[in-house]
Chains A and B, each alone.
Chain A
Amino acid sequence: MLKDKIVTESEIRNFYRISYLIFAFIIVAVFSIIIIRLYKIQVRMGEYYYDRAEKNFIQEVRLSPLRGRILDTKGRVIAQNRPSFNLFLTPAFVKNYRKTLESIDRLIGIPEERFNDIISEIKKKRGLERFKPIKILSDLNFDQVAIIESNIEELSGTEILMDSYRDYPLGELASHIVGYVGEIDKKMLSDRNKNQEIYKQGDIIGKRGIELSYEDYLRGEEGKEFILVDAKGFKVDSSEVKDFLKEKIKKFPPRQGADVYLTIDLDYQMELEKMFNVLDGGLIAINPVTGKIYALISRPSFSPAKLSQRISRTDWNNLINDPLKPLINKVTQDHYPPGSTFKIVPALAALDKRLITENTTSFCNGVFQFGTRPFRCWAKRGHGNLALHRAIVQSCDVYFYRLGDRLDIDNIYNYARMLGFGQKTGLEIDEETPGIIPNRDYYKKNKKFGSYHKGYAINSSIGQGDVAVTLIQLAYAYATLANGGKHIKPIIVDEIRDRENKVILKNEPEVINELNTDKGIIEAIVDGLYGVTSEPGGTATFQKYKVFGNDKRIKIAGKTGTAQVVEMRDGKNISESYMHKDHAWFVAFADVDNPEILVAVLHKHGGHGASGASPYVFNAIKLFYEKYKGMEFDKNINMRNVSFIESED
C-alpha cells in the first residue's frame, strides 16, 4: 500500500517533469532578457550614464567676484564691500522650524512680515530642496552673531555664513550718483543673459546710478571650482575619490571687479550737500570746459545701503509713494519749463539770424499785445527802451516776446537743439529725460494743444508753455556759452582701474557739436549774463552781493529763471500753498574770462529764481574758489546802504 503510493508519486513526477522544463525555460528566457537589457544599459549606453553620473557628483561651484569699488576723483571710497553675517536655516536639519524661528525671534528678533515669509518659504520646500539653506536674517551685527553663536545648540539646523555686502560708508551722500545694488530680477536676468549666461538668479547686480551703468566693469568675472559632492550637496573629502577625479576637480579663481573713479570731488560734494538744504530739487556743479561733474545732488536723497539690502515692503512703498519722489534724479530725470534761463536761446537765434544786432532796441511798457491776447512782462510797469544787453540783465519778457514773434518756433527749436535742449546729454547714469522743445511738428502731432499759432513761439521764447528742460541740459547749454560755443558731453566717470591699478578706461572731454557763429555773438550774450549778477537792476545782483559783497575779483555770468507751476493770472499765483509755488532756477559760471566752475540749481517750489535758487549757486561758486583757488572772502558783508532792488524773476 505504502509502496503503491510512492510509485504513484514517482509517476506523477515523471509526468510533470515537462511542466518543470517549460517553467525552467521561461525563467531562463527572463534571465536572458535581463542580461540583454543589462548589456544595453551598461555597455552600449555606459558612457551616456557615466556622463550623467559625473554631473551628479562633480558640482560646479561659482566663485563670486568681489565687486569693484566706486571712488571719487581723489580716490576716496563712496561704495565698497564689507563682510556681513547672515543667518541661514536648512529645513531638512531642523526638527520643528516654527519653534526654531520663535527661538531666533526671542533672541534677536525677526520682523513679523519676514517671519511669515520664511514660514511659507520653508513650507514650499520639498525633497532635496529641503537641504538647501534659506537665508533668515541678513547682516547681523556682532552682538547678534554672539547671541546666536552662544545659543547654537538650541538652534540646530541654523548657521551663520559670511557674505560680502555692498557698503556705502557715506550714507545718503551722493546717493543719486552711485545708485544701489540688489538681487537681479526676472526681467534683468533675461536681458542680461541674452548672448551669454552670465547671471544666475539671486545674483547681485547694479540697479541704479553708477552701480548700474558700470555694472560690466564693477562686476568682475566669476570664477568656478569643481568639487566632489554627495547627493545632498555636501562637499566630500575622500582623498581616494579625489585622486580618481584629479583631472576634473579644478579651480578657476574669480577676477575682481574694476574700481570706478568718478569726477566727483567728495569734499566739495559733501559741503554742497550741507549747503543745499532744500526739500526738493537738484544741484549740479561742473567744469564748463571739460564737462567733468564735480558734484551732483538731488533732493530728497535715499539710502543706497538700505535699498541694496532686503528692504521691507512698507519702506519700499513709502519711498515710491513719497510725493517728493526721492528715487527720481531731479538733475536728469525731471523736466520743467526753464523760464527766463531759456532766453539765451532766442537771443542767440536772433543774433545769429541777424534779426537784431546788439544795439537793436525795443520798448517795454509791461505788456506785449499779440492779437487779443496780452503777454505780460514780469515787471508790470515795463522796462522802457532797452537793447539785448539790458534785456538779459533785467530779464525783460517783452523784449523776448518780440524776438519770439519775429523768430519762427522752428528757429527757436533749432538753436535750442544746438545747445543740447530737447535731447539727452549723454550722462551715463540712469535714464535721462530728454525734455521737450516744441516745433511745428510737435503741435501737429499733439492735437490736444490745438493747431500751431505764433503764441506758442512767443511763449517758448521766455521758456514757458510747452518747453521743458532738465537741470543738466541747462548746465551744459550754459557751458556751451562759457566755452565759446563748444557743446560738450557730461563726464562723471574719470577713469576705471583694474585691481592691478592699471587704467583700463579714461574719459576725455568730448565736444558734441560746436556753434557755427561769430565769437562776438556769444560774447555779447555772456556779457549780458555777467550783467545779471553785477549791474544795477540785474536780476541776481542783490543775491550775489549777499554772498560776495563788493568783492569784484570773480566775474560771474548767470541767469535766473522761474517755472510756473500754476497758471498765473495778472502776474500772480492763484495759490500760495507749497505745492503751487513756482520752481526757481539759477545757472551761473565763473570766471567770465576763465571759466572754471558752472553751477546750476533747480529749487522746486522755491519761488523766484533769484531768491530761491541763486544763493545756492553763488555759495557753491564761492566754496569752489575758496577750496581750489585758495581765495579768501570777506565774511562780514555790509548789508546797510544796499540800494539794490530785489528782482522777482
Chain B
Amino acid sequence: MNTNYNRILNYTVLVLVSIGIVFIYSSSSVYAYKRFDNPEYFLFKHLLYVGIGLVAMVILSRTDYSVFKRHPYLIISICILLVLMVYIPKIGVIKNGARRWINLGFITFQPSEILKYGFVIYISYLISKSQEKISSFKGGFLPGLFVMMIVAVILLKQPDFGTTVLLLFTFLSLYFIAGTRLSYIFGLVIAAIPAVYYIIMRSPYKRARIMAFLDPEVHKDTIGYQIYESLISLGSGGLFGQGLGMSKQKLLYLPAAHTDFILSIIGEETGFAGVTVLMVFFLIFIIAGFRIALRARDLFGMYLGSAITIMFAYQVLINTAVVMSLIPTKGLTLPFISYGGSSIIFSLAGVGILNNIYLNSNNAVEDADALKTDLGVMVDRMARKGKV
C-alpha cells in the first residue's frame, strides 16, 4: 500500500483552512458589523491572507529546502534582527501592551512568526551537523541551548510568553528525537522552573492570567472574563452544537472570538462532535507531517520536517488547552483556523516547506519499509492493546 502522505497533508490543510474561513465569518461578523459596519470585513481580509499564504506555499514547495541548510547563520540573524525591529520607534507596533508587530509601511506582521521558522531551520541544521556528538553536552546540546536562550530573552522582552514556550518545547522535542541525553532535557526543564516562576510573578498580567486560569468563575468579571466566556461558549455547544451561525457568545461576549478563541465558537456551534472531528483532522495532519519528515532525503530535511510538524502540533495543543482552561492563556492562534495574517501566511508557508521535503525524498527506497513503520498503524495497535 503506497500512501501518498503529501496528498493527505495538503487535503487536510485545505479542509482546515476552509473550516477556518467558515468560522471566521461566523464568529467575526457581529463584531465586524459593530466596528466597521461591514460584517464581511474580517472574512475578506482573511481570504486575502489565505491567498498570500497559498502563493507562499506554492513558492516554497518549488524551492529546494537545502537552500536553508546552506545559510543557517544568515537566516537566524535576519530573523533575530526582524524581531528586534519591534523596538525601533515608528516601526514597532504596540498592541494590547505587547511589542510584537512591525509595520513596514505596506504590511504589518509579527516577526516572531518568521523567527519560529528561522529557529527550527537553525536547530535542524545544528542537530543534523552534530548528529554524532548529540549525546555530549558541549558539542551537542550546548550550541542549540545557546541560541534558544538568545531567542527566549528576545521574545520574553516583547513579551511573547506563548511563542517562547512553543519554541522551547519544539527545541526539547527535536533534541529528544535526535537522541540527546534525557538528563539534559529534564535538567533544562528543572532549571527553567524558577525562571518561569520569576517571569510570571514579576508581570501583573501574567499573574492575573494564572489566577484566572485557576478559578475562571470567581474572576469571571475581570481577569477571568475571557476564559470563563470561552468555557460558556464551548459548554453551551453540547454534543452536536447549536448549529452553524447560531453562536450567542460571538455577540461580543467572547473577546478574540475569531482569533485565539475561535475554537470556542466552533465548539458552541458544532458541539463535541464538531471539535472532535477537527481534532482528528489535526491529528491526521501531524501524522502525515511526521511521515514526510521520516522519508526526507537527508537528516536536515528529517529534522526540519519534524520541527515544523511538532510546532504545529504544540500550537494546536496549547491553543486547545487554553480554550478549555487546561492551561493559562498564552496568546497563540489555532493554526490554519484562526484569523490573523501572520499566522495563516506562515502556517501555509510551513506546509510549503513540508511539501518540498516530500518532493525531494526518495519514495522508492522508503516505501517498502513504510507499511511496517506506519505511525498510524502503530498507534492503532497500541490502542487495541489498551495503551492509549
Contacts and interface: CB of A to CB of B under 8 A. Distances in A.
Interface of A: 9-10, 12-13, 15-17, 19-21, 23-25, 27-35, 37-39, 41-43, 45-50, 52-54, 56-57, 127-128, 228-232, 236, 240-241, 244
B93 to A, nearest CB: 20
If over half of A's interface residues share one DSSP class (helix, strand or loop), that class is named, otherwise mixed; here it is: helix
Contact of A28 (B245, B310, B324, B379): B379
Contact of B267 (A33, A42, A244): A42
Nearest to A22: B176
A47 B238 CA distance: 7
Contacts of B234: 38, 41-42, 49
Given A41-B231, A53-B232, A230-B251, A27 B317 contact: yes
Contacts of A37: 324, 326
Given A20-B375, A27-B313, A33-B326, A50 B235 contact: yes
A143 to B, nearest CB: 34
Interface in B274-297: 275-276, 279, 282-283, 286-287, 290, 294
Given A17-B294, A19-B177, A241-B248, A42 B235 contact: yes
B270 to A, nearest CB: 10
Interface in B344-388: 365, 373, 375, 378-379, 382, 387-388
Nearest to A51: B236
Given A33-B326, A244-B246, 8 more contacts: A17-B294, A19-B177, A25-B388, A49-B235, A50-B238, A52-B235, A128-B221, A229-B251
Contacts of A46: 235-239
A13 B302 contact: yes
B253 A42 contact: no
Contacts of B232: 49, 52-53, 56
Contact of B238 (A28, A42, A236): A42
A28 B235 contact: no
Contacts of B317: 27, 30-31, 34
Contacts of A45: 235
A135 to B, nearest CB: 23
Contacts of B275: 38, 42
A104 B306 CA distance: 64
A43 B238 CA distance: 5
A127 B375 contact: no
Contact of B298 (A9, A25, A39): A9
B267 A19 contact: no
Q: Top 8 closest A-B pairs, CB basis?
A: A49-B235, A231-B252, A230-B251, A46-B238, A53-B236, A231-B253, A42-B272, A50-B236
Contacts of B143: none
Contacts of A230: 30, 34, 251-253
B130 interface: no
A249 to B, nearest CB: 13
Given A20-B375, A23-B173, A23-B177, A52 B236 contact: yes
Contacts of B267: 38, 41-42
B301 to A, nearest CB: 10
Contacts of A244: 246
Contacts of B268: 53
B179 A29 contact: no
B324 A34 contact: yes
B176 A12 contact: no
Query: Max chain B CB contacts within 10 Å: which of A30, A37, A41, A229?
Result: A41
B210 interface: no
Contacts of B211: none
Contacts of A240: 245
Nearest to A33: B326
A41 B324 contact: yes
Contacts of A35: 276, 279
Contacts of A48: 235
Given A12-B131, A38-B324, A19 B388 contact: no
A20 B34 CA distance: 48
Nearest to A50: B236
B299 interface: yes
A32 B388 contact: yes
Given A12-B131, A43-B238, A19 B253 contact: no
B259 interface: no
